[in-house]
Each structure stands twice: as structure tokens, then as C-alpha cells.
Structure 1
Amino acid sequence: MPDEALLTLLLTASDDEVRGTLASLARSRRLAELYDLAERNDLSYCLLERLKRAEVDAVDKFTPPPDDGGILGYLNASADLLRQESLEVASILRAEGHNLCLVKGATVGELYPEHVHRHQNDFDIATRSEEDFFELARALLHRGYLPRVFAIRLSERNTLEGSLSAVRIDTECKQTLWCDIWIGVQPVNRSRARKFPVSFWQALVPLKTGEPAPAISSRITILVNEVEERGILRLKDLIDFAVLSSLGHRAQPSEAAGADCNWKLFNLLRGATKELTPSVGRLMVGTPLGSSRHSIELRYPISVSEFAEPVSEHEAPLVRFLAVSSERGRTACSEAYGRLVIRTPFGTFASELSYDAASERFFRSKDQYFGTSDS
């Protein structure tokens, strides 16, 4: 089952062609190959919805693996529920005048063709400042969210940059809703982040629902950064790239998304997307629509870890803290049980690293401070 066959099935095949392909695969006992390829490229639910629309007889035999909710016995909320939740949360804060925007899944999924389902496991919101972040964190607390992981650094102005991961646990429906909040940056890996310049916020555009989102060029750069963070390039990423590049915009990140975009990885995505013709290529402006004469072999997902950019010695690293208590209060730092502990208005966190190692990474100069030193 070559990569292009799966993409053709999802993007361009008619219902009759889908049913014919599945019948052929069933006769040759190759359905498992199709399902495995979809699963490894995060396209299981996309394939499931396509089979349902085509009324494929074998659809009842295809059950995607449970979408693990990160908590034993719980599953992730549906993509539709996550999108609705993200819109509600963002609209509340925007109405109060705070600077934030939706990013990643919600801003890409709305651009997909109507017949293609885009699955998402969580929702992401970027905030412009530390103040906007604190207000959003408080709003999530009021909606029943619990903070989990706090990956942060101090900027030159002693303000927070990084991300907070939080979850809302629905005990009645046995499901979880995960949210990631970005604070002025997009995390690229466990210790790095790329800062959003002022121009990023000046170039925001409305989604169909009216909520703000990054410009198309910025969404492309965010996708490139996400692939670098994951270290794996999937077929789903190529569909995202093709959809974002199909809107009449030049398929390259603009300065609004950050001058330090990983251009090597961007060029890899662009080249790989054009190669997978006609299925994905048809979604890209300026790409030839002719069929490829050579069947593309099974390759995806592929490792792209060699494209990761080295960490600059001048870049402040992110320090990971784990939620340890629901105790909230005025921002303060202290030492407890050999860990750097941070109390915030939305919970208390302890560093993964030892107190000395975390302090050295977090406070990179004697002029930096965060909160107070009370215990």
C-alpha cells in the first residue's frame, strides 16, 4: 500500500472508487496494511469518516485505536467538541480585550475540503503577553481545567515565555479535553521556543467563526515548527501544508511568522507535498495536475530529526515544571524537596530538574527574578 494510494483514497477518489479499492484490498487480504498506514500517519479517523461517507461494507471492521485521553480509563474528546471548546474559550477572553489567537488544528481544519475530516487531539491558544496568559489560565480554571505541565523561561524583561498544558476531565462521559497555552512563543522542543514578533500579532485574520487566527504564512511556519518539535513528518502534515498553500498565497513563511523559521525543513515539506501528486498536489496552487508515472513507495512517517536546528548558546532554555498542588496565590519561588517550586494564581509547580539545575537554567543572570522568594 503506497503512500499515494492512501492520499488518493482520502482526497480525490469518488465513493465508487473508494468502495472498489476496499473490496480489492479485502480480496487480497491487504486491508490491515491500509489501516496500519493510516494509523501511523495520524489519519485513522480521517479514513474512518471517508469510509462512512462512501458506505463501505468493511467499515465495521475498521476500528481506530482508542484516542487515549492521557488518563487511564478516559478517551480524548471528539475533534468537533474540541473545536467548539476552543472557540468558546477564545471568545470569552477576546471579549474582555485580551490579546490571543487560536493556533494549529483549529486554524488548519477549517480550511480542509468539506469531504475531508481533520482530527485533532487537543486545542492550542497563543497569548501575546504574560498578563494575557494569566487571564486565560484563570478562565480555564473556572471551566474546570487542571494545569499539568508548565514549560517556561524568563525573557529579558523578566516576563514569562513558554507554555502551559491543562486538561478538563469529564467524569460523566469518561473523556478529557486538553489545551495548550503558548505565552508569546511557540515551543519547538522540550527546551526551545520561537518567539512571535510584534508583526505576528498585527497580521492576525478572522476565522469563519470570527475568532482571530494567524495569517496563512504564519500558520505554515507554525506547522514547520510543529514538525520539528515532533521530529517526525507524517502524511497528515503534507495534507495540512497543501491546504495552507492552496489559498493563493506564496507557499513560504513570511517575516510575520518569525525570521528564524527552519527553512531546510520548510523546503522538505514543500518538495514532499509536490512529489505526492496528484492527490496532495492538486491542493497546491501552481502544482502540475498530471499523475506521477512512478508509484511512490511506502515511506511515511519519516524521521526529520536531522533537520532540527541547533540550540543557540544565547537562547534561554525552557524549564519544565509539573503541577504538584492546587494551592494558588501570589507568584512566588522557593525550594522544596530539592526542587525549584513556583506558586502561581492557577496552581503550584515543581521543577523536573534539581533545584540547582533548574535555578541555573531559569535565572540566567543575577538581574533576573520571578515573583518573590517567600516559602
Structure 2
Amino acid sequence: MLVELIQMCKDGRSTNRMHQESGKMAEETPTSIADVATRARVSVGTVSNALNHPERVSTATLRRVRAAIDELGWTPSGRARKAPGRLETMGVVLVDASSSRAAVLEGIQERIRRTDVEALTAFTDGDRERLLGALNAFERLGMHSIILESGEGTDQLAESLTSRGTAVVIAGASSSSRLSAAAVDDDAACRLVVEHLLTGGRRRIVLAHDGREPVRSAGRAAAARAAASDSGFDPDAVLIEQVLPGVGAAGGRAGSEFLLDRRVQFDALVFPDDSAAIGAWQNLVEHDRAVPGEVAVVGCGDSPESAALGITTVRLPLHAVGYHCAEMLLTQRRDPRTARLKQVLPVDLVIRNSSR
């Protein structure tokens, strides 16, 4: 497991504090990573590994480094100081650092900005071994609060963590009564898109999936099929499912290229994120396939880039998902007996030129 990004979420208080020394006030020299290493009786490199590659460091060493950081009030960003012993670390485990996940992180940051909490974020790229490694490293670091992006098997992992005293909130859908979760309404998103395309005369709709998200993909497919049936169409006749061969814009480009190479007949493409929709749109234009004349393109996320290109998309309140997840987690840490909540946040379809 590689912890790829550390995002320290603090309230921006001054990095310096004044103390009495020799009968006068003097500004304290900021604590450095070398001070942490000295306090923990390890090298600077070991401190760096404890923060960025905890799987390479023993549990005992991780605890010493964590204790030194707490005692000295040091944060890796070098921008903020905390009162010794007051800061709690919240673990966040997401699939990647895409714009959609960045929005979730921004929501988390907004909620904890004025608290004595920092967030340590790990990205798994949808790999289960990396997910398990991230959770193991967080436990070894002594974390007792984790926001975990939903995926295949995450409910079971989260329940196992809660049984060991860790508070866990799922970012995404969860069917467990023992867990709190905040998610966008993916079912409604797919229904809105399919109904819109069918109403517009589209009859061969490709529903593209991110291969790293099997649970979400299954839900999207079921919702799309239900929407087609409710609109009076045979889902097998109007829907074509495709697992993208990559992620982001490259995945969308490759997915559309695959369909063109095999002469698949389609008149609409629906993607799990805006980046993939942008990549496909660019590839179609290069192949002289008119958008939206021959093909309608729909994304998910409502990014500034998709808006600039005029791509129809589903607006997802991902910032709110992060905010609510952090709120639930903070509440659980204050009172573990708090009732578990499930929040499903509404979405809306933003129709632009690519599907008109």
C-alpha cells in the first residue's frame, strides 16, 4: 500500500507562538522534521517513511513517530501548529485523486477546518490489497476515525473495524445498519440520463463503467434498465454496457475508439465521470462523428472542463458528501452510541449541447 497524498486540514492558525524566556517574550523556532526524528529516536528518513510509506515501518516505530508528532505539535505541511496532545488524525481512503474525489476531500476539509482534527488520505486505485494495506497502516498509526469510500466488500471491512473500536463512515452507498454513510443518488442519476436520451430519440445507448467500481457499476446498470423499461423500451435493445479499458480522459478515449473499431452501432455514450466523457468527445470529433448529431455524450460530475465544452452531465453534490461524512464521524467520536445515519443526496441533470 502506498499512501500517496497527505492532506492536512487545519484552521490556519499562526505557525508561531510566543513564550516567556529569560524575562522576555521570544518567538519560538518552528519545529522541524529533524526535531520529530530526534524525539522519536529515529532518522529523518524513517519519519518520512512513517508518513508516506507506513507499510515499511514497524508498528513500534510508527507509534513512536506518532507520539513525537503529537508531543511537538508538528504537521508535515509546515504551515500549522497544534496544541500538544489535542490533535486527532482522521483517515480517509478513496479510490483516486480525480476531480470528483477532490470535491469529497474539500467537503471534509471544510467541516474539520475549525477543529483539532487533521486528515491523512490514502488512494487505492481500486486495488483491494492497497485498500487493506491502507487500513492496516491507519490502525498501526493508532487512528480511530476513518472515512472509507464505498466499494465491493467495504461494508464488511468497515464493520470489522468498528468491532475493534474504530469509528467508520462510508462515503457512498452502504447497506449495513451498523454504519453511517453519505452518498449521491446514483440510481436517480442514471434514470435521469436514460429518460432524457430516450425522449430525445436515442435508441442505442452505451452505458460505460469504471472497472474499479463494480458495486457502483451494477447499481447504475440496474437503474438504467429500469428507466428503459419504464419508458416502454426493451433494455436489451437500447442499452449496451461497456467496461472502460482505462480511467479518466484516456479511458473515455480508448472506450470510444474500441466501439468505433468494432463498428458497434450506438447513438449515445454515458460515462461514470466527466473526464471520460471529455476524452470520448474529443475522440469522436477527431473521427468526424458529430456531437450531438450522430452521438450524444453525457458525463457525471459537472466539472468546469465539461461545462466549457458543452457536455451534458449529472451534477453531483460531492462536496456535501465529504462534509456530511466528516460531520457523522465527528459525532460518532463524541458519542459512539449515536444512531447510524444514511444520507442520500439529490442530483440533477444539466443538459448542454452534447445531448440536445
Q: TM-score range by the shorter chain?
A: under 0.3
- Which of the two has higher C-alpha Rg? 2
Structure having the larger proportion of residues in helix: 2
